[in-house]
Amino acid sequence: MEKITPSWSLVELAELLGGAVADQPEFRVKRPVPANSNDPEGIAFCESDKYLRTAESSGVGALILPPTMTSASKPTIHHSHPRLAFGMLLAMAKRPMPISPGIHPTAVIHSDATIAPTASIGAYAVVEPGASIGDGAKIYPFCYVGDGCSVGTGSTLFPHVVLYQDVAIGDGCVIHSGAVLGADGFGFMWDGSKQHKIPQVGRVELAKDVEVGANTAIDRATAGSTKIGHGTKLDNLIQIGHNVEIGRDSVIAACAAVGGSASIGDRVSMGGSCAVVDHGIIGDDVMVGGASSVSSDLPGGQAYFGSPAIPARQGLRAYKAIGKLPDLMSRLRSLEKRVKELEEGKS
């Protein structure tokens, strides 16, 4: 692994990040790490005394500190914005997963598929007829790109992504392993003796810069399209039902279940493990707290919390109060007794 790991001296790093070495300019680090790391080849950042104390007592190799802070024990780079410098370092430390340009000899590409010359198709990928893969796109091993699909310029499908037919992925999208896009929406009709499957013949459309997490499922529409808007980010293990529409720049954390035909606006953020009822409507700029269950429409511009989700200011107090219910009930019983005594005393 060594040969594929980067390594910087502090003086090199200070120059790259726009900081100044405080000491030990030749000290070498290999990767950004958290302040509590015991990695002697790692470099962390601190912006508070609390984190500095954590770092001093950890085995971390070196630190990025604001000019006002000094480490008693660790080689240091001073930087006016340590957090920003650390973010730059994260970007520098990123190395792409290996994939060769062109089409791997084991990939099975249908003769009616269109692969841009600068796209990369990994081992054992399958691309079906009518599919098109854009410039610079990376299709990692074991991906299945169904007939009539399109993958936009510069998009990445990590290993083991499945696109059923007619799934359109915009430019600059990232689809993580195990994600399944375009499986049938869940539609059945009970006729009194049997569940009849409602054919699911629609599509899935992802706009630009969408990210889809590992093992997330986005169902095709019954008819029309299930749509994920520009810049929206979905975490792992999320269910997006058929005909759902999600707007721009929304961020949905892991394990959400979004019911069929639900509509979620722009810049919505949802915590982990949320549920949204079928046909539910969530307005723009809504925040939904983690583990909430949205069972009715949520007007835009507000925060919500709870199962069922209600405005967050009310919800956070209300759900915490559940623990007091047994006490509340015994106080109510006691009051009822006392009022009865008063009533009897009065009569």
Site for its own copies in 113-172 (CB under 8 A): 122-124, 126, 128-130, 140-142, 144, 146-148, 158-160, 162, 164-166
Residues 172-201 that bind its own copies (CB under 8 A): 174, 176-178, 180, 183-184, 186, 188, 190, 194-195, 197-201
Query: What is residue 305's DSSP assignment?
Result: E
State in angstroms the smallest separation of the CB of 67 from its own copies: 23
Per CB under 8 A, contacts with its own copies among 284-313 are: 290-291, 293, 295, 306-308, 310
Q: For tokens 């791997």, name the residue.
A: 104
Q: Are 99 and 122 in contact (CB under 8 A)?
A: yes
To the nearest whole angstrom, how small is the minimum distance from the Cβ of residue 271 to its own copies?
8
In angstroms, the CA 324 to CA 333 distance is 14
Binder among 49, 68, 73, 95 for its own copies (CB under 8 A)? 95
Selected range binding its own copies among 1-9, 48-56, 61-69, 73-81, rule: CB under 8 A: 1-9
> In whole angstroms, what separates CA 133 from the centre of its chain?
24
Residue 253 as a binder of its own copies (CB under 8 A): the answer is: yes
CA distance linking residue 226 with residue 267, whole number of Å: 18
Piece of 14-22, 34-42, 49-57, 63-71 that binds its own copies (CB under 8 A): 34-42
Q: Is 79 a catalytic residue?
A: no
* Residue 57 within binding range of its own copies, rule CB under 8 A: no
CA-to-CA distance for 28 and 9, rounded, in angstroms?
4
Q: How many CB atoms lie within 10 A of CB 347?
A: 5
DSSP state for residue 298 in the 8-state scheme: B
User: Does 4 contact its own copies by CB under 8 A?
Assistant: yes
Size of site (CB under 8 A) for its own copies = 127
215 conformational bin, left if phi > 0, alpha if psi -120 to 50, beta if neither: left
